[in-house]
């Protein structure tokens, strides 16, 4: 059938259909601008040759890729999975493709990934959190690539963002812990350096204590990467403290899951002997034993809204506005009043 053994190009299709390359291109990109009969002929040629447009060539010629890039700190656990899935689904609906890469919580790596994604022709970028060098935004501006921050909402931030108040949410959870009667509270936080969300979560706890008229700065606090094993280690260290905390608030559900696992290993019963809380309400929160009391983040809603906003920015329909998503505490079994002193 086909004359050559290698991949067909627009030119081959044009020849096969007896039209110009412009017409073929139009058939594929704005079919209404081509008369029915011609279109038939062209589409048939496309079909019979098994033609697929060369993406790089399209991007180069059109300076438009219908691709959105997202750089998340990690793919290792499920923290970002659900939100990103929703983000992607919404993008797809609008005809965009998502390219994801992870920075391993390293600002330099993130910078690198941003350049890579832009070089690959991303029309817009989704970034996590506000904390990063400002010259990156200059770079994006020069390349005319709009960017949107997610997973974090700060009223005073200049850049547009679709997220939630990490401090507010954690503050509310801390209030519950206080209301349950806990006074010896310890924190297992994610690494706060370069992570505004982790910072905000810790400060949310502090805020709750201050609001309650308690000293906030002497809470035992361990910072550690968001990994199950690290959460377990940190919990073990906290349990060795004297006096031992009656409640351990974790920076997210992954750390909390680690804490719970360690509690079990140590024979410390949760919540009878010590309470544990998480953050995010990812799947694992409902599976561990006891099920975690945590902050529910509507990840899907956030992902969807971020997609809509970013697309609007890319298409020049919006200069970039910020959206605040509401979170709420979900009460399960890992938080209970402390054993009487």
Cβ atoms of 248 and 222 within 8 Å: the answer is: no
Whole-number minimum distance, CB 249 to a second copy, in Å? 19
CB nearer to DNA: pick between 29 and 44: 29
DSSP 94: T
CB nearer to DNA: pick between 37 and 134: 37
Indicate which of DNA, a second copy, none lies near residue 134 (CB less than 5 to 8 Å, by partner kind).
Answer: none
Indicate which of a second copy, DNA, none lies near residue 333 (CB less than 5 to 8 Å, by partner kind).
Answer: none
Cβ atoms of 174 and 212 within 8 Å: the answer is: no
Which residue from 4, 37, 135, 218 is in contact with DNA, where contact means CB under 7 A? 37
The residue whose two tokens read 């994604």 is: 117
Which residue from 2, 4, 15, 57 is in contact with DNA, where contact means CB under 7 A? 57
CB nearer to DNA: pick between 144 and 269: 144
Indicate which of DNA, a second copy, none lies near residue 25 (CB less than 5 to 8 Å, by partner kind).
Answer: DNA
Whole-number minimum distance, CB 33 to DNA, in Å? 6
Indicate which of DNA, a second copy, none lies near residue 50 (CB less than 5 to 8 Å, by partner kind).
Answer: a second copy
- In the numeric block, which tokens belong to residue 242? 């004297």
SS3 call for 68: strand
185: CB partners within 8 A, 6+ apart:
174, 177, 178, 205, 209, 219, 245, 246, 247, 248, 249
3-state percent breakdown (helix, strand, coil) of the chain, nearest 5:
45, 15, 40
CB nearer to DNA: pick between 53 and 168: 53
Q: What angle do CA 324, 309, 198 make, to 5 degrees?
A: 45
Indicate which of DNA, a second copy, none lies near residue 287 (CB less than 5 to 8 Å, by partner kind).
Answer: a second copy
Distance CA 2, CA 130 (A): 53
* Contacting positions for DNA (CB under 7 A): 7, 9-11, 18-23, 25-26, 28-29, 33-35, 37-38, 51, 53-54, 57-58, 60-64
């Amino acid at each position: 059938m086909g004359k050559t053994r290698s991949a067909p190009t627009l030119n081959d299709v044009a020849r096969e259909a007896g039209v110009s390359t412009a017409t073929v291109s139009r058939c594929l990109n704005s079919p209404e601008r081509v008369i029915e009969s011609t279109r038939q002929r062209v589409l048939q040629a496309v079909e019979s040759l098994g033609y697929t447009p060369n993406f790089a060539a399209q991007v180069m010629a059109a300076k438009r890729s219908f691709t959105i890039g997202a750089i998340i700190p990690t793919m290792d656990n499920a923290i970002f999975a659900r939100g990103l899935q929703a983000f992607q689904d919404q993008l797809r609906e609008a005809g965009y493709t998502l390219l994801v890469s992870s920075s391993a919580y390293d600002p330099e790596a993130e910078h690198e990934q941003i350049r890579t994604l832009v070089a690959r022709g991303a029309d817009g970028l989704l970034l996590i959190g506000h904390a990063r060098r400002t010259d990156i935004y200059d770079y994006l501006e020069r390349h005319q690539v709009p960017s949107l921050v997610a997973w974090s909402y700060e009223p005073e931030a200049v850049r547009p963002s679709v997220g939630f108040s990490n401090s507010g949410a954690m503050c509310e959870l801390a209030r519950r812990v206080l209301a349950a009667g806990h006074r010896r509270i310890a924190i297992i936080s994610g690494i706060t350096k370069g992570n505004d969300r982790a910072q905000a979560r810790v400060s949310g706890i502090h805020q709750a204590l201050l609001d309650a008229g308690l000293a906030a700065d002497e809470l035992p606090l361990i910072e550690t990467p968001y990994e199950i094993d690290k959460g377990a280690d940190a919990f073990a260290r906290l349990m060795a403290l004297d006096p031992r905390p009656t409640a351990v608030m974790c920076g997210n559900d992954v750390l909390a899951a680690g804490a719970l696992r360690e509690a079990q290993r140590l024979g410390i019963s949760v919540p009878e002997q010590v309470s544990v809380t998480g953050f995010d309400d990812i799947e694992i929160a409902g599976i561990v034993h006891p099920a975690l009391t945590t902050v529910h983040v509507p990840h899907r809603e956030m992902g969807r809204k971020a997609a809509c906003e970013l697309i609007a920015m890319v298409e020049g329909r919006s200069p970039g506005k910020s959206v605040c998503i509401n979170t709420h505490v979900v009460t399960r079994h890992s938080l209970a009043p402390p054993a009487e002193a």
